[in-house]
């Protein structure tokens, strides 16, 4: 009989290994927190060390109250489902997840060098060489191709959502806006990051598919080569114009 956490209201299903009866449900008390890696609108990401195995992971803690208040429960469930289905060297691995009264916690592969965005900002030239960009983009395209073949679209590819391991290899991360593209169907959800939105996403009346990821790869390539987004000036100008009206 597996041991489960005492939770007043569960928002997501149990981890596969727990459902199968192979493992007890994990708890934050199973880990030593090394440091906080980052904070977002739904919670924090922490570098942790498992007390028994001494292995290092990243734990993404999602605030359950915030998720419920924003009506994002189904989106979080979908993110977890998608991540469990992915197994690729250039995609961050979800090992397990657990839940308590305050948080849903994802136990993730730890990427030692952090966000690609951080590497870009700390680079003396604030941009990478073409050879460096070619390696990064190639690996992201490999991850994206794998996802698309499984019928999954990421919809938020950007430097903040690409991590680097100790060897500088890329790990595509953050699948909060990801979803399935079934057969020839297209989706209508307006989501992603403004600088990286494809035209069919901006024109809300148009449906979109995996091609939005191809557009984002182009924007990413430009930003890594030049240090700036190709549309950032236009966005600032349009925003100021809208505010003056």
- Among 156, 195, 209, 242, the one annotated catalytic: 156
> What are the structure tokens assigned to 127, written together?
């941009």
Q: Write the burial class of residue 69 (CB in 10 Å: 0-12 exposed, 13-18 middle, 19+ buried).
A: exposed
Residue with tokens 């997501």: 12
Please calculate the CA angle 30-36-38 and round it to the nearest 5 degrees: 125
Please calculate the CA angle 103-84-163 and round it to the nearest 5 degrees: 80
Beta strand spans in the chain (E)? 31-39, 43-50, 56-63, 94-99, 103-108, 114-115, 152-153, 162-164, 170-172, 179-180
Strands 31-39 and 170-172: unpaired
Packing angle of the helix pair 211-226, 130-149 (nearest 10 deg):
170
209 catalytic residue (yes or no): no
- Which H helix or E strand runs over 44? strand 43-50
**How crowded is the C-beta side of 123, counted as CA atoms within 13 Å?**
18
Does the CA dihedral 161-165-171-173 come out positive or negative?
negative
> What are the structure tokens assigned to 102, written together?
């305050």
> What are the structure tokens assigned to 150, written together?
């499984």
The set of catalytic residues is 156
């Amino acid at each position: 009989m597996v041991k489960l956490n005492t939770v007043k209201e569960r928002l997501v299903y149990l981890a596969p290994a727990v459902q199968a009866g192979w493992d007890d449900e994990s708890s934050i008390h199973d880990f030593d927190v090394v440091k906080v890696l980052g904070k977002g609108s739904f919670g924090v990401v922490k570098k942790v060390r498992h007390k028994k195995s001494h292995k290092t992971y990243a734990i993404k803690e999602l605030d359950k109250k915030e998720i419920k208040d924003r009506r994002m429960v189904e989106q979080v469930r979908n993110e977890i489902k998608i991540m469990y289905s992915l197994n690729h060297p250039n995609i961050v691995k979800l090992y397990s997840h657990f839940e308590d009264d305050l948080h849903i916690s994802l136990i993730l592969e730890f990427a030692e060098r952090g966000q690609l965005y951080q590497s870009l900002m700390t680079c003396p030239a604030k941009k990478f060489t073409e050879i460096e960009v070619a390696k990064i983009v190639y690996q992201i395209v490999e991850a994206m191709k794998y996802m698309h073949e499984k019928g999954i679209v990421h919809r938020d590819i950007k430097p903040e959502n690409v991590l680097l391991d100790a060897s500088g290899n890329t790990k595509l991360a953050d699948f909060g806006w990801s979803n399935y593209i079934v057969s020839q169907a297209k989706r209508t959800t307006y989501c992603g990051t403004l600088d990286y939105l494809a035209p069919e996403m901006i024109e809300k009346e148009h449906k979109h598919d995996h091609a939005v990821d191809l557009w984002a790869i182009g924007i990413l390539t430009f930003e890594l080569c030049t240090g700036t987004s190709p549309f950032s000036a236009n966005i600032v100008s349009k925003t100021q114009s809208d505010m003056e009206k």
